Amino acid sequence: MTPQEFVEKLETELKISKSSPHTIKNYVRANREFFNFIKKSPEEINEQDVKKFLAEISERSAMSLIVFLSAIRYSFINILKIDPTAGIKRPKREKRLPTVLTKEEVRKLLKSIENKKSKLMISLIYACGFRVSELVNLKISNLDFEDNIGHVKQGKGKKDRIFNIPLFLKKPLLKRVKLQIEKREEYLFTGPNGKLTDRNIQKIIKKYAEKAEIKKDVHPHTLRHSFATHLLENNVDIRKIQELLGHADLSTTQIYTHVSTEELKKIKSPIDNL
C-alpha cells in the first residue's frame, strides 16, 4: 500500500466514524507530513520511525506532538491493526491559562461592531459560551422562543446541550429568523456562499478586536473563556458552568478557577491588615 492510498483510507475511516472536520484535517495532515519525512511504505513503519519524526518536530508545542501521536496511532490501528506508538511516552500537556477579556473589553469589542449580523453573532458567542463551530451550525429549528432556550445539537464530543436565549438578544434574533425563513435558509447565519465557516467568524472577531484597540490576541474561543470566567466571578456554581459549556469532565471547567483575575484583585495582602 502506498502512503497516498493509506491516507485516503484514513480519511474514509474518519468520515465513517463521524469525526469532526477539524479532526479529519489534522489527522490527514499529520500522516501526510510523517510519510513525506520518513519515505517508507506504511507496512514498513515501526516505533523507531515515529521517534525519528518526533525528534524532527520536537520544537513544536506539546499539544502538536500529542495530536501527531494520536493521528498516527488512530490510522495504524484502524488500517493495519498495529500501533507503532505503543511504546512511546506521551509528552505532558502545557498548562497554559486561556486568554480572557475583562467585562469592559467585551463591552468595547461589541461597541466597535457596526454590522448588525456580525454584532449578533459575536454577542451570541459571548452570551452563550458557544464554540465557533456551534454558532455556524446553529439552525433556526434549534431555537425555542416560547421557553427562551436553544439547543446545541451534537457539539464537541457529540454531546447535546441547551442554552438560554439572552433577553436582550431576543428581538434581533427573531428578526434574523424571519429573514432566514424568507430566504429559505436552514441555518441562522449564512453568507453569499451559503453556510459560514469557522474562518469567517475568526476574521470578523480579529477585525473588530483590532478596531476596539484590544491588545490581547482575541479569537472566538477567547469569548467562550470570558463567558465562563465572568460567570464564575458572578458566583455561578462551577457545575452549572460545566453544563452550560458542555464539558464532559469538571476538571476541564476548573481551569477557570485559575483565571478569575477580578476575584484575585479583591484579595488584600496581609500587610494591609497590620
* CATH number of the domain residue 196 falls in: 1.10.443.10
Query: Cell match 447535546: residue?
Result: 160
Do 146 and 233 share a structural domain? yes
In a domain, 12, yes or no: yes
pLDDT the model gives residue 260:
59
- In angstroms, the CA 194 to CA 215 distance is 33
What average pLDDT does the structure give for the chain?
86
Active site residues: 131, 156, 221, 224, 247, 256
In a domain, 159, yes or no: yes
pLDDT the model gives residue 21:
85
Rounded to 5°, the CA angle 19-195-154 comes to 35
Cell of 142: 434549534
- In angstroms, the CA 248 to CA 258 distance is 19
In a domain, 93, yes or no: no
**Residue 159 DSSP symbol:** -
pLDDT exceeds cutoff 60 at 67: yes
In a domain, 123, yes or no: yes
C-alpha to C-alpha distances, 145 to 19, 150, 189, 215, 243, nearest whole angstrom:
31, 8, 17, 37, 21
Phi and psi angles of residue 187, each rounded to the nearest 5 degrees, phi first: -90, 155
Do 63 and 22 share a structural domain? yes
245 vs 11, residue with greater confidence: 11
Do 233 and 154 share a structural domain? yes
pTM for the full predicted model: 0.63
Tally of structural domains, the chain:
2
Do 107 and 74 share a structural domain? no
Most confident of 20-29, 105-114, 162-171, 232-241: 105-114
Do 132 and 14 share a structural domain? no
Residue ending a domain, choose from 79, 112, 146? 79
In a domain, 85, yes or no: no
In a domain, 92, yes or no: no
Do 194 and 230 share a structural domain? yes
The type of residue at 248 is A
Predicted confidence (pLDDT) per residue in 2-51, tens digit:
999 999 999 999 999 888 888 899 999 999 999 999 999 999 999 999 99
Do 118 and 12 share a structural domain? no
Do 240 and 168 share a structural domain? yes
Residue 69: domain span:
3-79
* CATH number of the domain residue 41 falls in: 1.10.150.130
63 vs 86, residue with greater confidence: 86
- In angstroms, the CA 175 to CA 177 distance is 5
